[in-house]
């Protein structure tokens, strides 16, 4: 059952990713991006990473999508349609990404992954919280603090940049 769900989600994920980069209406592209982010959260739910799935839903599908839709509505007419892209540019970009994808897939297929035999206990939010705040082994207090300073700087920077300059 879970295999079927995985392949279904993976197929839909790739389909919506392609539609995100190829749709000619910008609001539609944003909705397709939302679908692919929600499908990613569904994959995390399948793998029992509940905390990560909820972070994905709240931050990506909630926060970032609201920001993107806001900026689309502030800068575009709602039924604005892009001009069709240049054929030469499409061919070059497709070729470049195809070569990259083939190289990476070749490397993945030629590397033997030893899957762990350990039965995976589901990771509880308590473990994650203790990991964030501990400074011993397997502690992440330094990156946690760095990220909080980065978020503060990004918040102040976004306000300063987007502020209307008064003359």
Partner 1 sequence: MFETIPLTHILIVSTLMFFIGVFGFLVRRNLITILMSVELILNSVNINFIAINKFLYPERLEGLMFSIFVVAVAAAEAAVAIAIIINIYRRFSSINVEDVSEMKG
Nearer to partner 1, 114 or 167 (CB): 114
Give CA 67 to chain center in angstroms.
14
Least distance between partner 1 and beta carbon 143 (Å): 6
Nearer to partner 1, 115 or 166 (CB): 115
Name the burial class of residue 83, with classes exposed (0-12), middle (13-18) and buried (19+) by CB atoms within 10 angstroms of its CB.
Answer: exposed
Least distance between partner 1 and beta carbon 166 (Å): 13
Torsions phi, psi for 11 (to 5 deg): -65, -45
Least distance between partner 1 and beta carbon 66 (Å): 10
Least distance between partner 1 and beta carbon 100 (Å): 5
8 Å CB contact between 9 and 36: no
Q: Report d(CA 82, CA 32) in Å as an integer.
A: 16
Q: What is the DSSP letter of 136?
A: S
Nearer to partner 1, 75 or 166 (CB): 75
């Amino acid at each position: 059952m879970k295999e079927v769900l995985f392949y279904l989600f993976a197929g839909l994920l790739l389909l919506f990713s392609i539609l995100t980069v190829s749709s000619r209406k910008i609001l539609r592209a944003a909705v397709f991006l939302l679908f692919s982010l929600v499908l990613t959260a569904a994959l995390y739910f399948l793998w029992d990473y509940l905390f990560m799935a909820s972070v994905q839903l709240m931050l990506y599908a909630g926060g970032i999508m609201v920001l993107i839709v806001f900026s689309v509505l502030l800068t575009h007419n709602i039924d604005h349609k892009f001009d069709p892209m240049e054929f030469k540019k499409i061919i070059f970009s497709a070729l470049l990404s195809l070569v990259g994808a083939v190289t990476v897939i070749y490397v993945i297929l030629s590397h033997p992954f030893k899957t762990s035999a350990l039965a995976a206990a589901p990771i509880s939010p308590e473990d994650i919280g203790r990991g964030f705040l501990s400074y011993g082994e397997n502690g992440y207090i330094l990156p946690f603090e760095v990220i909080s300073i980065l978020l503060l700087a990004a918040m102040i920077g976004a306000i300063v940049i987007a502020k209307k300059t008064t003359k």
